[in-house]
């Protein structure tokens, strides 16, 4: 057995040499294969790096942000910045203010737009005037003159009831073709019937078939209360009560009652123009004004309920405040001159001087009253209309403020007044109403003649 081994391998040394050669060969092959794999891996990595670097879709690496700069020191805010900061901190108040200002601006814009609109009465196709307005007010009152001139300028035919020659001459002195006096004595039923027959014939369509006339409105402007100064009830005479109730209540009511059938047939509007500032508070020493105003309120309310079922008449009551009518002194001078020319034939009449003679105060322009009167005539105004400075405020105070508080306030004012021994206020006219007697007229006319 040992002999065969020797023959196969030659010797032991040859065996070890063969094994060593095989081991060396395997190591060389393994190193060659490892080197090949390393080279292949390097080529693949280089290819991938090259492809990724040249590709546009691959996102760039995010740069490292620079360190934040130090915050600047807070200085005083400007007007605009302070306003923005305040608005951002008070959003509810800002929204409410914007709504309030926006609504007010819209209402002012709408009112100005309505005031700028042209107001003209309807006319016939040939341009003739067809609308008639009866203005039942004292011809000597500046308010009557102002309203009549404005209505005539807007295309109405105006008739003013008069009961004396010098009042008729006062209207004719205006030299207006469409302002006419209407002779009517409310104390004489025969005079009322005769005047109404003539007036009804004027409205008869058969007399003017091409352009028939129409009674558009009846405006009632009661005479201002008398006496002009504030008086206690104790000092008001029976003649003063009788004169006030006759001229301010009985005469207007009788006149309206006479025209009421015509107003219903023509579907005309009825306008009451009454002062509201003084009667709304019912102050002391103004009994005549308060009584007349209370009776007028009851009369208007009753008339509205009686005509509400028919719906033919639009009854509008104007509650008047203070107006800026100081420019009517010319009309007052004209009334004084005509009275003296009449040589005392109209001793029962009264003349109301302009507001500048009574009290120097600012009020609402008369143009606002003219526009509202026209709107009421054509049916755009209904119910109660407040015109003049303080009208709505005084009326609201008179309704919601307790009587005790009003009396306390008026009592303080009364104690500051200088009273005469008879209890009448010296040198002060009643606010919102009152017309001087003939002593005032004679004094002014004497000054002018001197």
- 163 within 8 A of 249, measured Cβ to Cβ: no
Residue 442 pLDDT class (50, 70, 90 cuts): very low
- 245 within 8 A of 253, measured Cβ to Cβ: no
Of the candidate ranges 254-268, 271-285, 398-412, the one whose mean pLDDT is the lowest: 398-412
Average pLDDT of the chain, as a whole number:
76
DSSP-H helix ranges across 342-437: 355-358, 366-377, 391-400, 403-416
Separation between Cα atoms, residue 423 and residue 285, nearest integer Å: 9
Q: Check residue 271 and give its pLDDT.
A: 93
pLDDT mean over 253-269: 88
Q: Check residue 394 and give its pLDDT.
A: 84
DSSP letters spanning 190-240:
HHHHHHHHHHHHHH-GGG-SSS--EEEEEEE-PPPPSSSS-B-GGG--HHH
Is pLDDT above 70 for 369? yes
Of the candidate ranges 88-97, 134-143, 319-328, 352-361, the one whose mean pLDDT is the lowest: 352-361
Residue 212 makes CB contacts below 8 A (sequence gap 6+) with 130, 203, 205
Separation between Cα atoms, residue 194 and residue 265, nearest integer Å: 19
Separation between Cα atoms, residue 379 and residue 71, nearest integer Å: 70
pLDDT mean over 271-279: 87
For residue 93, count CB atoms less than 10 angstroms from its CB and return exposed for 0-12, middle for 13-18, buried for 19 or more: exposed
In the beta sheet, which residues pair with residue 131?
Answer: 214
Structure confidence by residue, pLDDT tens digits, 31-82: 888 888 888 888 888 888 777 766 665 556 667 778 887 766 555 667 788 8
For residue 432, count CB atoms less than 10 angstroms from its CB and return exposed for 0-12, middle for 13-18, buried for 19 or more: buried
pTM above 0.95, yes or no: no
Separation between Cα atoms, residue 39 and residue 90, nearest integer Å: 74
Structure confidence by residue, pLDDT tens digits, 68-100: 877 665 556 677 888 888 888 888 888 899 998
Structure confidence by residue, pLDDT tens digits, 160-185: 998 888 888 888 888 888 899 988 88
Residue 413 pLDDT class (50, 70, 90 cuts): low
Structure confidence by residue, pLDDT tens digits, 288-328: 888 888 899 999 999 998 888 777 788 999 998 888 755 44
DSSP-H helix ranges across 55-161: 79-89, 91-116, 142-153
Sheet bearing 314-320, strands edge to edge? 179-183, 157-162, 131-136, 214-220, 269-275, 314-320, 383-387
Separation between Cα atoms, residue 188 and residue 186, nearest integer Å: 5
Is pLDDT above 50 for 421? no
Separation between Cα atoms, residue 158 and residue 317, nearest integer Å: 20
Is pLDDT above 90 for 19? no
């Amino acid at each position: 057995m040992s002999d065969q081994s020797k023959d196969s391998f030659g010797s032991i040394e040859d065996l070890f040499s063969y094994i060593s050669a095989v081991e060396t060969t395997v190591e060389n092959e393994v190193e060659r294969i490892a080197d090949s794999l390393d080279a292949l891996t390097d080529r693949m990595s280089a290819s991938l790096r090259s492809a990724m670097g040249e590709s546009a879709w691959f996102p760039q690496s995010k740069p490292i942000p620079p360190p934040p700069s130090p915050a600047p020191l807070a200085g005083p805010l400007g007007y605009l910045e302070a306003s923005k900061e305040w608005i951002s901190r008070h959003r509810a108040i800002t929204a409410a203010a914007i709504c309030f200002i926006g609504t007010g601006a819209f209402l002012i814009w709408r009112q100005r737009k309505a005031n700028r609109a042209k107001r003209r009465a309807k006319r016939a196709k040939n341009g003739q005037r067809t609308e008639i307005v009866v203005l039942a007010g004292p011809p000597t009152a500046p308010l009557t003159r102002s309203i009549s001139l404005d209505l005539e300028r807007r295309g109405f035919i105006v008739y003013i009831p008069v009961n004396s020659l010098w009042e008729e001459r006062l209207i004719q002195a205006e030299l207006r073709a469409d302002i006419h006096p209407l002779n009517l004595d409310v104390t004489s039923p025969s005079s009322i019937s005769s005047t109404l027959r003539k007036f009804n014939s004027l409205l008869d369509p058969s007399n003017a078939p091409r352009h028939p006339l129409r009674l558009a409105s009846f405006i009632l402007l009661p005479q201002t209360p008398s006496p002009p100064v504030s008086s206690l009830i104790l000092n008001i005479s029976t003649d003063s009560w009788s004169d006030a109730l006759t001229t301010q209540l009985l005469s207007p009511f009788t006149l309206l009652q006479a025209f009421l059938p015509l107003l219903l047939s023509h579907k005309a509007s009825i306008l009451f123009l009454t002062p509201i500032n003084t009667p709304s508070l019912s102050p002391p020493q103004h009994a005549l004004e308060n009584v007349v105003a209370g009776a007028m309120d009851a009369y208007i309310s009753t008339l509205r309920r009686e005509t509400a079922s028919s719906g033919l008449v639009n009854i509008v009551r104007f509650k008047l405040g203070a107006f800026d009518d100081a420019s009517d002194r010319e009309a007052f001078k004209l009334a004084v001159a005509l009275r003296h020319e009449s040589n005392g034939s109209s001793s029962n009449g009264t003349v109301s001087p302009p507001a500048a003679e009574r009290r120097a105060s600012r009020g609402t322009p008369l143009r606002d009253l003219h526009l509202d009167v026209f709107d009421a005539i054509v049916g755009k105004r209904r119910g109660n209309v407040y015109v003049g400075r303080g009208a709505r405020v005084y009326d609201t105070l008179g309704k919601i403020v307790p009587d005790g508080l009003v009396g306390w306030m008026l009592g303080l004012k009364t104690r500051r007044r200088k009273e005469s021994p008879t209890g009448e206020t010296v040198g002060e006219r009643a606010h919102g109403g009152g017309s001087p007697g003939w002593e005032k007229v004679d004094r002014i006319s004497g000054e002018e003649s001197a």
